[in-house]
């Protein structure tokens, strides 16, 4: 294969790689306030806050992912930005049923919101 022919193949591939890398979402720094509750209750029961901390903890221990439900109704799915990724219930379990302030990087896709949490604290602890 000649050099010009090889460049016609390699150059577009490199260009595509650069475009895809630049298009990757790096996340938007945010601080969100809301309640930590299990995802099933957030969606199926239309709750604005958890029934109780015990209920949220029981659901999480049974495998339901914990989420942060904000005052405006946005549900943030806590995620890890590592590969391989890991569930975040263990990190949120101490806050199950509580109102929290969480900061980190937010990602949105297809109408869903996710949050890589850098810092989280119960609101009563932030005085």
Q: Tell me, what's the pLDDT at 14?
A: 46
46 has pLDDT over 90: no
Mean pLDDT of 45-68: 93
Contact 68, 78 (CB under 8 A): yes
pLDDT at 80: 95
Nearest to 76 by CA among 28, 123, 126: 28
Residue with tokens 């809301």: 34
For the chain, domains (ranges, CATH) are 27-125 (2.40.50)
Q: What is the DSSP letter of 64?
A: P
Closest CA to 91 of 82, 103, 83, 79: 79
CA–CA separation, 127 and 109 (whole Å): 34
């Amino acid at each position: 294969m000649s050099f010009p022919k090889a460049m016609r193949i390699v150059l577009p591939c490199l260009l595509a790689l650069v475009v895809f890398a630049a298009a990757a979402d790096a996340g938007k720094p945010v601080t969100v306030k809301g309640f930590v509750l299990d995802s099933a209750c957030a969606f199926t029961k239309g709750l604005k806050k958890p029934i109780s901390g015990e209920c949220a903890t029981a659901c999480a221990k049974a495998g339901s992912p914990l989420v942060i439900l904000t005052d405006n109704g946005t549900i943030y799915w806590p995620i890890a930005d590592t590969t391989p990724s890991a569930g975040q219930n263990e990190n949120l379990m101490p806050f199950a049923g509580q109102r929290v302030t969480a900061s980190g990087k937010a990602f949105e896709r297809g109408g869903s919101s996710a949050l890589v949490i850098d810092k989280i604290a119960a609101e009563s602890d932030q005085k």
